[in-house]
C-alpha cells in the first residue's frame, strides 16, 4: 500500500531495517536444508495490488527455482502491470471476483500467494487448501469470527495434507526478533509483568469515488476503509504488534477492553473505520498490556513493542532489538530482509518435507485484533472464551457477490450504541419490596 510519498509501507520498513545492517538472504533455517533442493516452485498470485506484487517479487528473490506462472485479480488494470513484470502469458491471467478459482484449478501451480483484501482471505485460503496448494497469505487472515473459524479449519486440513502455510507476519522470520524471543523465552528478562505495543502513524492512500463506479467496485478499490474488507486498521496493520506480544507470552490474552473513535477522518472516502484505538489485553495471571494504534495525518510514526519482565526490558522494532536489565543485550548480527525471509523459510520447509504451518497462529492473533475492534466499537469488555463461543459476527462476502451490486456502507460504529454480535444485555432485575 502506498502512502502520500508513494513509498509502500513494506518498502518504508525495509529501508528502516537496512539502515542498521547489511542485507543478506541467509535463512533462519539451516542453509544445508534449502541449499540442497531445487524442486520447482510454480506460483500463482491471487491479488495483484501493491502487496501481492511485492510478495511475488519477494518469493522469486527468496530461493532458486521459483517462477510466477499464473495471476488473478478482480481488476484487469492491476493484473496487466504484474503480467508484464513477470512475463506471465495471457492464457494464465484471470480477471474477476471468481478469478482465484481458475488459478487454483491449474495442476502445475504448487504454491499460491493470497493478497486480496483480507475480507476474502478465509474463502480463498479454504479453497486453496482444498485444491492441495501450499500457501503464502498476507495478514490479517479474516475480519470476523466466522472467517476465523474457516481459517482454523483450513489450517487443520493443511496439516493433514502436509501443505505449507506461512502468513505475512514477517517479524516471526526476522533475525533480531527471533534472537530476542529466544532470550525472552530463556528467562533473560525474568517473568513478564507487562507489555506495550504500538502502530501509530500518519495517513495512507485514499481513493475517492469516481463517476459510474458501483458500490462494490468503489469499496474494493478503496478497501482499507471498510470493515468488511480490511477489518479496520487495528486488524490490517496492528495485528503485527499484537502477534509479537502473543509470541512473547507464548499464549493468548484471556480478555480485552478497548476504546477508540473517528475524530479526524470523517469524509465519505474513509468508509466506516476508526482512526484510533487503545486496548488493554489481559493475559493469564492478570498480566495487563497496552496496545495503541492510529492513522492520523501529520503525527509521528511508532511501530514497536516493549516487553517488561521482573529482570529486564526488551525493546523491539523493525530495525533493532535490545534488552536492558540483569542481562543486557543488543542485536549486532547480520540483518535480513524479513519480507524475503518468510518466503525462503516457507519454500525450504516445503522442499525438506517438513512444511511450516502458521495458519492457527496467525488466525489467533487476528482474532485478538478483531476482539479489540469489537470491544472498541461496542465499549464492551469481554473474555476470549465468550467471543469464541457466543459471538456470531459474520462479515464474509456473499458467494454470489457481483461487481455491479449495490452495497450500502455500514454505519460507523457508535460506542455504547453499536450492537456486538451475539451479545445479550440482561434486563435489569426488579427490586423486591419489603414483606409486610
Take residue 292 and report the three cell numbers written for it. Answer: 495503541
Q: Is the pTM of this model over 0.85?
A: yes
The 3-state DSSP class for residue 249 equals: helix
Residues 315, 306 contacting (CB under 8 angstroms): yes
The single residue listed with the C-alpha cell 521482573 is: 310
Confidence (pLDDT) at 224: 98
**Res. 23: pLDDT tops 70:** no
**pLDDT confidence bin for 433, thresholds 50/70/90:** low
Q: How large is the average pLDDT for residues 80-95?
A: 96
Distance CA 109, CA 134 (A): 9
* pLDDT in the model for residue 96: 98
Q: What is the C-alpha to C-alpha distance for residues 168 and 242, in angstroms, rounded to an integer?
A: 14
In the predicted structure, residue 16 carries a pLDDT above the cut 80: no
- In this prediction, residue 36 carries a pLDDT of 37
Per-residue pLDDT of 210-226, as tens digits, reads 999 999 999 999 999 99
pLDDT at 182 over 50: yes
pLDDT of residue 15: 45
- Terminal Cα-to-Cα distance of the chain (whole angstroms): 72
- How far apart are the C-alpha atoms of 79 and 334, rounded to whole Å? 36
Instruction: Give yes or no for residue 286 having a pLDDT over 80.
Output: yes
Question: Max alpha carbon distance in the chain (Å)?
Answer: 90
pLDDT confidence bin for 386, thresholds 50/70/90: very high
Quick one: how far is CA 51 from the chain centroid? 12
CA dihedral (349, 350, 355, 361) in degrees, to 10, reads 80
Give the range among 199-203, 363-367, 418-422 with minimum mean pLDDT.
418-422
Instruction: Give one word for 24, left, alpha or beta, with left for phi > 0 and alpha for psi -120 to 50.
Output: beta
pLDDT in the model for residue 2: 34
Binned at pLDDT 50, 70 and 90, residue 430 comes out as: low
DSSP E strand stretches across 123-168 = 134-137, 165-167
Spell out the CATH class of 188-337+366-390: alpha beta
Averaged pLDDT, 51-59 = 97
Q: Name the band, by pLDDT with cuts 50, 70 and 90, for residue 125.
A: very high
Checking if the pLDDT of 32 tops 70, the result is no
Pick the CATH number of 9-171+339-358 from 3.40.630.10, 3.40.50.1370, 3.90.79.10, 3.40.50.720: 3.40.50.720
* pLDDT value at residue 424: 78
The tens digit of pLDDT for each residue in 251-263 reads 999 999 999 999 9
Mean pLDDT of all residues in 325-352: 97
**Using CA atoms, how far apart are residues 60 and 69, in angstroms rounded to an integer?**
11
Measured CA angle at 300 (ends 295, 303), to 5 deg = 70
Q: Is the pLDDT of residue 175 over 60?
A: yes
pLDDT band at 416 (very low <50, low <70, confident <90, very high): confident
Residue 22 has pLDDT above 60, yes or no: no
Contact 121, 145 (CB under 8 A): no
Does residue 30 have a pLDDT over 90?
A: no
% of the chain beyond a pLDDT of 90: 86
Task: Kindly indicate the confidence band of residue 92, based on its pLDDT and cuts at 50, 70 and 90.
Answer: very high
Residues 6+ apart with CB under 8 A from 428: none
Three-state DSSP state, 81: helix
The domain spans of the chain are: 9-171+339-358, 188-337+366-390
The alpha-helical segments, DSSP class H, found in 267-426 are: 338-352, 359-378, 384-390
Render pLDDT for 294-320 as a digit per residue (tens, 0 to 9).
999 999 999 999 999 999 999 999 999
Are domains 9-171+339-358 and 188-337+366-390 of this chain identical in fold? no
Amino acid at each position: 500500500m502506498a502512502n502520500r510519498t508513494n513509498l509502500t509501507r513494506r518498502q518504508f520498513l525495509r529501508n528502516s531495517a537496512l539502515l542498521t545492517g547489511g542485507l543478506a538472504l541467509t535463512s533462519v533455517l539451516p542453509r544445508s536444508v534449502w541449499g540442497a533442493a531445487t524442486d520447482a516452485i510454480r506460483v500463482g498470485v491471487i491479488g495483484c495490488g501493491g502487496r501481492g506484487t511485492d510478495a511475488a517479487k519477494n518469493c522469486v528473490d527468496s530461493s532458486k527455482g521459483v517462477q510466477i506462472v499464473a495471476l488473478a485479480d478482480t481488476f484487469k488494470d492491476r493484473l496487466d502491470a504484474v503480467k508484464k513484470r513477470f512475463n506471465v502469458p495471457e492464457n494464465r491471467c484471470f480477471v474477476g471476483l471468481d478469478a482465484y478459482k481458475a488459478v487454483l484449478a491449474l495442476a502445475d501451480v504448487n504454491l499460491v500467494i493470497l493478497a486480496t483484501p483480507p475480507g476474502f482471505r478465509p474463502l480463498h485460503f479454504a479453497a486453496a487448501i482444498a485444491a492441495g496448494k501450499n500457501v503464502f497469505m498476507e495478514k490479517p487472515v479474516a475480519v470476523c469470527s466466522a472467517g476465523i473459524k474457516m481459517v482454523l479449519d483450513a489450517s487443520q486440513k493443511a496439516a493433514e495434507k502436509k501443505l505449507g502455510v506461512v502468513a505475512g507476519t514477517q517479524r516471526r522470520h526476522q533475525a533480531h526478533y527471533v534472537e530476542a524471543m529466544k532470550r525472552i523465552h530463556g528467562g533473560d528478562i525474568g517473568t513478564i509483568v507487562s507489555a506495550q505495543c504500538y502502530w501509530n502513524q500518519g495517513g495512507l492512500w485514499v481513493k475517492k469515488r469516481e463517476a459510474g463506479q458501483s458500490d462494490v467496485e468503489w469499496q474494493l478499490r478503496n478497501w482499507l476503509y471498510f470493515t468488511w474488507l480490511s477489518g479496520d486498521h487495528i486488524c490490517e496493520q496492528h495485528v503485527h504488534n499484537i502477534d509479537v506480544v502473543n509470541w512473547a507470552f507464548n499464549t493468548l490474552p484471556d480478555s480485552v477492553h478497548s476504546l477508540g473513535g473517528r475524530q479526524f477522518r470523517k469524509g465519505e472516502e474513509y468508509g466506516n473505520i476508526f482512526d484510533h484505538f487503545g486496548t488493554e489485553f489481559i493475559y493469564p495471571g492478570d498480566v495487563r498490556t497496552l496496545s495503541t494504534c492510529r492513522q492520523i495525518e501529520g503525527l509521528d510514526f511508532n511501530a514497536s513493542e516493549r516487553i517488561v519482565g521482573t529482570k529486564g526490558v526488551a525493546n523491539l522494532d523493525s530495525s533493532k532489538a535490545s534488552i536492558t536489565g540483569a542481562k543486557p543485550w543488543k542485536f549486532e548480527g547480520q540483518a535480513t530482509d524479513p519480507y524475503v525471509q518468510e518466503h525462503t523459510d516457507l519454500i525450504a520447509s516445503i522442499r525438506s518435507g517438513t512444511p511450516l504451518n502458521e495458519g492457527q497462529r496467525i488466525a489467533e492473533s487476528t482474532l485478538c485484533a478483531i476482539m479489540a475492534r469489537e470491544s472498541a466499537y461496542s465499549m464492551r469488555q469481554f473474555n476470549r472464551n465468550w467471543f469464541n463461543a457466543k459471538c456470531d459476527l459474520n462479515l464474509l462476502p456473499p458467494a454470489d457477490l457481483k461487481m455491479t451490486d449495490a452495497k450500502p456502507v455500514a454505519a460507523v460504529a457508535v460506542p455504547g450504541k453499536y450492537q456486538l454480535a451475539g451479545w445479550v444485555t440482561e434486563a435489569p432485575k426488579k427490586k423486591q419490596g419489603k414483606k409486610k
